[in-house]
Amino acid sequence: MEITIDMIKELRAATSAGMMDCRKALEEAEGDFQKAVDWLREKGMATAAKRADREASQGIVELYSHGGGRVGVMVEVNCESDFVARSDKFRELAHELALQIAASAPRYLKVEDIPAEVFDHEAEIARARAKEEGKPENIHEKIVQGRLEKFKDEVVLSRQAYIRDESITVEKLILQTVAAIGENVVVRRFQRWELGESLNN
């Protein structure tokens, strides 16, 4: 299929990618506009991954209060420069992360933060459920692993489905922002409080 200048311009307008990148994306996607957008996004993700080892010490502490003060969130999000820290795109991401934390109540930032005893406890529950549901014993471990993956998706911020678009994870949302702003972004820490919750939680 012939790639026209109008097709390239349309893709450029939608993605802000360079003209040559848009041409390449359309060639790779054989003229399919949506596939070309996806190709550029994936390419952006690859660019984002290269930035992951750069120092991020600037940023913002975003505060969010929900439900008339019933839920409060504080999240620290870092980037590389003060200029980007003040940008709308970066601040919008920090706000979206605070909303995500308020709505989805993650317990951990990364999978590595989950204590081994929590994993063991969840595995025990999953094993007991598989037994109770009468599942064949030879597939118990497979069921346990599946339920542990689901548990990670629920309690780890980066693995949660993004509340505004469940087709992407929070990690992908962050990577899209990295690709857009051209700097590394790190979610340093967060805290979520809910009125009346036990202090031991």
Q: What is the pLDDT along the chain (201 residues), one digit of tens a residue?
A: 788 988 888 877 776 677 788 888 899 999 888 888 888 777 765 556 566 666 778 999 999 998 888 999 999 999 999 999 999 999 999 999 999 999 999 999 999 999 999 989 998 998 888 888 888 888 888 888 999 999 999 999 999 999 999 999 999 999 888 888 888 899 999 999 999 876 554
Residue 201 lies in a domain: no
Q: Report d(CA 48, CA 93) in Å as an integer.
A: 15
Q: Looking at the structure, tell me whether residues 87 and 18 fall in a common domain.
A: no
Residue 34 lies in a domain: yes
Q: Which domain CATH number covers 126?
A: 1.10.286
Give me the pLDDT at residue 201, please.
47
Give me the pLDDT at residue 121, please.
93
Residue 11 lies in a domain: yes
Q: Looking at the structure, tell me whether residues 103 and 170 fall in a common domain.
A: yes
As given in the structure block, the two tokens for residue 124 are 């025990």
Q: Looking at the structure, tell me whether residues 103 and 71 fall in a common domain.
A: yes
β-pairing, 186-194 vs 71-79, is: antiparallel
Give me the pLDDT at residue 51, please.
63
pTM for this model (two decimals): 0.70
Q: Report d(CA 28, CA 117) in Å as an integer.
A: 47
Give the range of the structural domain holding residue 68, as residue numbers without chain letter.
Answer: 58-107+157-194
Q: At residue 176, what are phi and psi to the nearest 5 degrees?
A: -65, -40
Give me the pLDDT at residue 89, please.
94
Q: How many CB atoms lie within 10 A of CB 6?
A: 8
Residue 46 lies in a domain: yes
Residue 73 lies in a domain: yes
Residue pair 169/158 in contact by the 8 Å Cβ criterion:
yes
Provide the strand spans (E) within the chain. 58-66, 71-79, 161-162, 165-169, 186-194
Q: How distant is the alpha carbon of residue 76 from its chain centre?
A: 15
Q: Looking at the structure, tell me whether residues 162 and 99 fall in a common domain.
A: yes
Give me the pLDDT at residue 48, please.
61
Residue 200 lies in a domain: no
As given in the structure block, the two tokens for residue 2 are 């012939």
Q: Looking at the structure, tell me whether residues 69 and 30 fall in a common domain.
A: no
Q: How distant is the alpha carbon of residue 182 from its chain centre?
A: 17
When divided into structural domains, the chain yields a total of: 3
Q: Looking at the structure, tell me whether residues 96 and 178 fall in a common domain.
A: yes
Q: Which domain CATH number covers 43?
A: 1.10.8.10
